[in-house]
Amino acid sequence: MIPFSPPRIDQKVVDEVSAALLSGWITTGPRTKLFEKRITEYCGCKTTVAVNSWTMGMQVFLHWWGIGEGDEVILPAYTYCASANVIVHSGAKPVMVDIGHDDFNISIEAVRKAITPRTKAIIAVDLAGFPCDYNALNALVREPEIMNMFLAGNEHQEKLGRILVISDAAHSFGAEENGKRTGSLTDITSFSFHAVKNLTTAEGGAVCFNLPDNFDHDAIYKEFCTLILHGQNKDALAKTQKGNWRYDVEEPGFKCNMTDLQAAIGLVELERYQENLDRRKEIFRQYDLAFHHEDWAITPLHTTDNRMSCYHLYQLRIKGATEQQRDAIMQAIFDQDVSVNVHFLPLPTLTAYKKRGYRMEDYPETWNKYSNEISLPVYFNLTDEQVSTVVEAVKKAVNTIL
């Protein structure tokens, strides 16, 4: 069976994790701090805080930014539920909009139409690893008419003076726009390092801060590290200094710090990340070549003049297929011992959001792309021979069902 997306765990990773285990530091310690520094250097952002998941990193951030009851946060209807769940848990209202025609990312015009005086933030999702049009989003929130509509709710929001742009980069570590990497493309970026991601720490994530220069990013880093550790102003590493045991809890915080065991995996993954990207790009090339001349195949957009994917997901679409036919094609692929997936069930199809009044018919482009989409295996250890097996399984399944 060809799996869908297994992590790259080899002896180098095992050795580094073993070294962390034997070092005496298995929670937040020197490896986590080094991992944060390396991410900041790689992405080109101003500071980075490593956390235990994308979800909790974003949850704490929304709390820190002061988003709550009465506020609205705009996001695409086509994303994983975590993007919306954090908004609900903050007390704010998720305002879903449709995606664009060219890719799977949020429609800039739909965002424009959805902005109200209650809008505090936009969460743009880099689906499949292809970055959103941050040039356009960043320009949109700075338009005088949009800025005049903005109502700040606290000191942070007042200092920014406009709607905040957040990059949900759970899929897009290493993607680029205009030669800059994800993490530095807009105000805030949140990464996921879950087991299926290009770069994994088993579970984990990071929040990258790239706010304007009038924000003190050193102070933000210190405050955020406190927030992710119950509001305690000293972590275990700081308390190891002689006589430095006494601490304070500055406010009721959260518990979502990254551990050195996770960071040990991440440091290895980051060191060889370009090798990973190169292999993924080659797999995309082989899929493109195999499906380009099939009249039923719609291959995904992954490169433009100014944007480049990190090749996380290959979202093949079957032209003209219904949702039921797509599901049958997937089953036929599975029957040939090849694992595939769908990314994702749109938010308005989920019970949690249907009962909150969201309707799938309000997002036609989201449905148009979801209903015939199949994600194919892409990972470092996928061999050329296995890629050929996947291709043949897909072609046979499509020709059998359609």
In sequence order, the β-bridge partners of residue 73 are 94, 121
Give me the DSSP letters along 244-256: -----B-S---B-
Q: Measured between alpha carbons, how far is 203 from 39 in angstroms, rounded to an integer?
A: 16
Catalytic-labelled residue, pool 197, 319, 355, 395: 197
Query: Residues 197, 269: contact at Cβ < 8 Å?
Result: no
What's the one-letter identity of residue 89?
Answer: H
Query: Which 3 state secondary structure label does DSSP give 117?
Result: coil
CA nearest 117: which of 63, 179, 177, 162?
Answer: 162
Q: Positive or negative, the Cα torsion across 168, 172, 173, 179?
A: negative
- In the three-class reduction of DSSP (H, G, I as helix; E, B as strand; rest coil), residue 350 is classed as coil
52 — phi, psi (to 5°)? Answer: -90, -5
What are the φ/ψ torsions at residue 389 (nearest 5 degrees)? -65, -40
93 noted as active-site residue:
no
Task: Give the span between the Cα atoms of 268 and 31, in whole angstroms.
Answer: 11
CB 46 within 8 A of CB 211: yes
With residues binned 3-state (H G I as helix, E B as strand, rest as coil), the percentages for the chain, rounded to 5, are 40, 15, 40
CA distance 382 to 401: 26
Amino acid letter for position 3: P
Task: Quote the CA–CA distance of 263 and 193 in Å, as a whole number.
Answer: 10
Catalytic positions: 197
